[in-house]
Chain A
Amino acid sequence: MSVSDRFTAAGLDIRPTRHESFLAYNRFRFLRWATVLVLLSIALYLGVRPYGQPYGGGWAGYTLGTVGALLILWLTWFGYRKRTYNSNSGRLAARLSAHVYLGLALFFVATLHTGFHFGWNIHTFAYALMCIVIASGIFGIFAYAHYPRQMTENRESMTTAQMLGRIAGIDDELRNVVMPLDDTTVAAIERCIETNEIGGSAWRQLSGRYPRCTTAAAIAHMEAIAEGHTIVQEAWRQTLVKLSEKAALLARIRRDIRFKAMMEAWLFLHIPLTFALLAALTAHIIAIFFM
């Protein structure tokens, strides 16, 4: 018996003994469910003829529409579920697994529901919003599968605080080694110490490009004055070494931020558009039944 038995005995798979990705949860249980749902939907669409008169109506059309609408509500509820911690409803990883696969299945269910009738109206608008939400979710799956490993490899066991601490240390060292050099160089190094551009606007975070980086500028300056530095060569060399070390660290932090941003950015589309979708869906249902 182990501590885990208490939970497994209660029928909750709370204590996995090894790491298992949400995508592979319980031997792809929800992928199997989603596949069955899609196959049933296709069967319904092909089997009931004529399908949906007009535009997704009829009992088959209404069935697909109801299933799709309920799925949307259930998928939206994930945001609430994610933040309920004192629950007995099992692992969030299981829920995310279901969210991902049933969310993908929703695309098929809703597409079949439309009966492939599209136009410039509220109905297609709701459908389009749903597609964007699903597409952003697909990017999320890609990000979740792709960036965590890169993030760890990039960090090499350092925490953000440690990296920032090391940069502060290099700044102190730079102040000392640059002293024998000329005033313009000291000023360039001082600028590099004063402004460390990390993070910043959404575009900076996502692209990882910092064209006004003072460290890069300082390195360019050092390379420009490379010739004719015989007496103070050692100071020049040391300054450049420190600058390169700093540039490497800055690049590492910026990559770290970029990876993190990539894993979060899609949510800024996924979540607001979900609420827009709920509004459009409501309008769509009202338009169908009450107008």
Chain B
Amino acid sequence: MDRPLAAEFKVAIVGSGPAGLSAAAHAAKLGVSHVLFERTPHINDTIFKYQKRKHVMATPEVLPLRSDLDFKEESREEIIESWTAAVETDKINLRLGVEVTAIKGQKGDFTLTLSSGEAVAAENVVMAIGVQGNLNRLRIPGNDLPFVQYQLDDPDEYKGEEIVVIGTGDAGLENALALAVNNNVSIVNRVADFPRAKAGNIALIEAAIKRGDIQHLANCEPKGLEDGGFLVLDTADGAGVRLKCDRVIARIGALPPRRFVESCGIVFPNDSPTAYPAVSETYESQIPGLYIVGALAGYPLIKHCLNQGYEVVEYIQGNKIPPADEPLIQAKLDDAGVKMNVNELVAAVRERLPLFAALTTLQVREFLIHSNIHYPKSGEVVFKRGEFANSLYNILGGEVGIQVDPDNPDEMVRLRRGDFFGEMALISGRRRTSTVIATTQALLLEIDRNTMVKLVRSEPTIKAGIDKAAVIREIKTFLAPQVEDNLLRDVVESSAVVEFRPNEKLIEEDATDDSVYLIRKGSVTVSMNCGGKDVVLAYVPAGNYVGEMALITHRNRAATVTAASATEAIRMDSAAFRGLLEKDPALRRKVEAKLEQRMMDRNLMQRNAEAGDLIKFLVREGCGEATDVLLIDESLCVRCDNCEKACAETHHGVSRLNREAGPTFEMLHVPTSCRHCEDPHCMQDCPPDAIHRAPNGEVFISDQCIGCGNCERNCPYGVIQMAAVPEKKPGLLSWMFFGRGPGPGEDKSPAGLARRTGGKHAVKCDMCKGIDGGPACVRACPTGAAIRVDPAGFIDVMRHAGA
């Protein structure tokens, strides 16, 4: 077959984002014959589509930059300008507006088919197409009229316009909400609700529709667009309407690049929409000569992409340069005083830690950057009981002892090379349950919480491995600390970890099942139906069991148990549990004594419905998943807002709490302020991994924030805001005596906020981490109305209210 060969290149690069452009720049520098294809008419489409003047962060800060392109923390415009200039000066062979539609062949002989029908031959291919995909366009007449657009750069650009947004995914909703500030916005919806958006966005759009800020055109279908700004819609009643508007913004998703990648012969490890194709440590896919770098390989940060572009060209040239992270990991080893090099460490992790056996070398290196290495001497404490959990520890060498019984520190459970510990608090999001001490000199690898969460999500064998060990340890810690392992075997083997969504029922009143549930994460409420009303009898946090009453009394379930937050429980088979109680009379007595206490508490609570209502209220407001929450006693609160002013004054002029907002029950008010959740919603989708939990439990946002706003949308309690940093203001005395500058809390007013310039960051309560005196809101309350409480404190507050 004749093949029209346009050119022959050593390397063809697909996609001119940070990864692709960096690869092309390095190829040009080394004089390697190359070509760079970009389907849009400009380089770097993703950054191009950022909001105008967006401040782009250069994270992770610790990672050195390794690229022929310049990159530092700067604005979108500066980056585009500098990289566009680099195309010229570096003599990059760039072809804009050309889409690669197929890649066939093997190392040394690839053929790339272009949208023009032309074919290009290359020895190697670097795929750097990102994960954005191609934006879908409306498939109706008039879809390219000038008033129709498929993306929105800067919502503030439009004022006083009639705008119709088509598309009810997150992008559509976010655009509609942002535009509604200055325009009349309607949103077209094929159905009546918003099944494809995140919960946070749904709540915002529904509120905006209710307020009348946005018009909801439900059950409507776009039929056509006409000159002069008309949108024709089919309506549910079949009548149809012709809307006049200034602008139509269609956000109807993008075709993910996965299909194209698979058509090139690359296999994905699983069907998850977040799955990335596996690559070797030199970024090579299963097809030799076909390399994958950047976001498509699972590295969304610009600096990673730039480095990988540089490195992949070096690898193609046959240069085995060490990765950019090598000195970082080496420094961790050196700091800990371990005489090892990075390759030895990677090999040790892969050989000695069965938990991570399924990971590739690249994945191991990636998590090592976010890990710490400890080399404690015999007798040194690794962590103490009661600290907040941030990490999982793995033993690469030596031995540690876990002090299971705080009253008897000499009694220790020993763990050795290959074992891990610290998973219980990591799962529950609560404090460490035991103190751990090195019993010989031990080489420990500490992996931080966020990295661990990502690993658990991406690799099922890690989750299974952790769960297997955790179940035994949780049963031992929370239920039967003195019981021999062999007695527990039946219970452990017949148990299962069950997950419950908030408000899902673990146990229903009057049901005939009799399993016992050990809550290991989250919390539950126990309630009973009294005359048609659901009366809450108890709040049970993680680390306790429920459901033993039916098993002991041989009756139907006496109460309903409902998850107060996302909850995980170990369901223990009733026969096995009963068997354990028979074999261990001491445990039986303990369980029965607790049951008796619970029955007495319940009787007390049944007579005191108000306390039950208070529990219900606090749970509904998220206190069930909180580790620390601000509660205001309104019978003491004089509405001076000194709490807000104190918060603003200690946090760059932006108060992270709204005293007036939020619900009140009786005199107890839960203001809009961070609950420091056990499993923080805000952490779930943070691209630069900027949200962390400090050892004292504070959930905080570090300087690495890129201002994407994900956390703001993910927080169900609305406690995160996007804010710019204000100017520095003069001291308090010069305000008091000379009227200089904004006074305490005054710069958080609309006028003060308008003066702020610069990039916006996510801000939230950090519980005044780093301020010795503790939370400023509580300190500044003149009347004692504001307190912050942890879960142990809720029970106290509840009792107090019930008394």
Contacts and interface: CB of A to CB of B under 8 A. Distances in A.
Interface of A: 1-4, 6-7, 10, 12, 14-22, 25, 79-80, 82-93, 95-96, 143-144, 147-149, 151-152, 155, 157, 159-160, 165, 260, 263
B447 to A, nearest CB: 24
B778 A85 contact: no
A21 B773 CA distance: 20
B335 interface: no
B800 A18 contact: yes
Contact of B696 (A6, A91, A96, A160): A6
A205 to B, nearest CB: 14
A4 B638 CA distance: 25
B784 A16 contact: yes
A141 to B, nearest CB: 10
B634 A144 contact: no
Contact of A21 (B660, B743, B779, B783): B783
Interface string B764-789: 00010001111110111111110111
* Size category of the binding interface on chain B: 35 or more
Given A83-B732, A92-B781, A12 B637 contact: no
Contacts of A2: 386, 790, 792-793
B636 A14 contact: no
Contacts of A144: 638, 783
Given A25-B784, A88-B772, A148-B636, A18 B797 contact: yes
Contacts of B639: 148, 151, 260, 263
A7 B661 contact: no
Contacts of A4: 790
B312 to A, nearest CB: 47
Given A3-B697, A17-B793, A92-B779, 11 more contacts: A2-B793, A3-B790, A15-B778, A19-B785, A22-B782, A83-B732, A87-B773, A148-B785, A152-B664, A152-B669, A160-B660
Contacts of B640: 263
Contacts of B733: 80
Interface stretch (B71-79, B296-304, B518-526, B642-650): B642-650
A14 B744 contact: no
Contacts of A12: 773-774
A152 B634 contact: yes
Nearest to B384: A1
Given A3-B628, A21-B783, A85 B744 contact: yes
> Which of B773, B788, B797 neighbours the largest number of chain A CB atoms within 10 Å of its CB?
B773
Contact of B779 (A10, A90, A152, A263): A90
B767 to A, nearest CB: 7
B773 A152 contact: no
B634 A88 contact: no
Contact of A18 (B664, B767, B773, B796): B796
B635 A149 contact: yes
Contacts of A87: 773, 779
Contacts of A10: 772
B633 A263 contact: no
Contact of B633 (A14, A19, A25, A165): A19
Given A92-B779, A148-B634, A20 B784 contact: yes
B431 interface: yes
Contacts of B773: 7, 12, 14, 87-90
B650 A86 contact: yes
B254 interface: no
B246 to A, nearest CB: 26
Contacts of B667: 149, 152
A123 B631 CA distance: 47
Nearest to A155: B664
B784 A21 contact: yes
A86 B640 CA distance: 18
Contacts of A96: 782-783
A22 B774 contact: no
A17 B789 contact: yes
Nearest to B668: A19
18 contacts: A1-B386, A3-B788, A7-B773, A14-B779, A19-B784, A19-B787, A22-B784, A83-B736, A83-B743, A91-B778, A91-B784, A147-B638, A148-B638, A151-B639, A152-B667, A157-B663, A159-B660, A263-B639
A9 B773 CA distance: 11
Contacts of B743: 83
Nearest to A6: B696
Contacts of A1: 385-387, 431
B429 to A, nearest CB: 14
A91 B744 CA distance: 18
B784 A152 contact: no
Contact of A91 (B636, B638, B645, B779): B779
**Chain A to chain B: the 3 pairs with minimum beta-carbon distance, closest first:** A1-B386, A14-B774, A19-B633
> Which of A17, A25, A79 neighbours the largest number of chain B CB atoms within 10 Å of its CB?
A17
Given A7-B774, A80-B736, A148-B635, A91 B787 contact: no
Interface string B406-445: 0000000000000000000000000100000000000000
Given A14-B773, A19-B633, A92-B779, A85 B787 contact: no
Contacts of A89: 773
Nearest to B651: A85
Contacts of B645: 83, 85
A23 to B, nearest CB: 9
A85 B776 contact: yes
Contacts of B387: 1
A157 B664 contact: yes
Nearest to B666: A152
B68 to A, nearest CB: 46
A14 B775 CA distance: 8
Contacts of B785: 19, 148
A87 B634 CA distance: 25
Contact of A86 (B431, B627, B661, B771): B771
A93 B775 CA distance: 14
Contacts of B431: 1
Nearest to B667: A152
A148 B669 CA distance: 12
Contacts of A91: 778-779, 781, 784
Contacts of A17: 787, 789, 793, 796-797
Nearest to B744: A83
Contacts of B660: 159-160
Contacts of A19: 631, 633, 636, 784-785, 787
B781 A263 contact: no
A22 B786 CA distance: 11
Contact of A22 (B669, B732, B780, B783): B783
A101 to B, nearest CB: 14
B775 to A, nearest CB: 7
A21 B635 CA distance: 9
Contacts of A14: 773-775, 778-779
Contacts of A93: 781-784
Contacts of A22: 636, 782-784
A263 B637 CA distance: 11
B774 A15 contact: yes
A149 B634 contact: yes
B388 to A, nearest CB: 8
A4 B791 CA distance: 12
Given A2-B792, A14-B775, A82 B784 contact: no
A200 to B, nearest CB: 19
A67 to B, nearest CB: 25
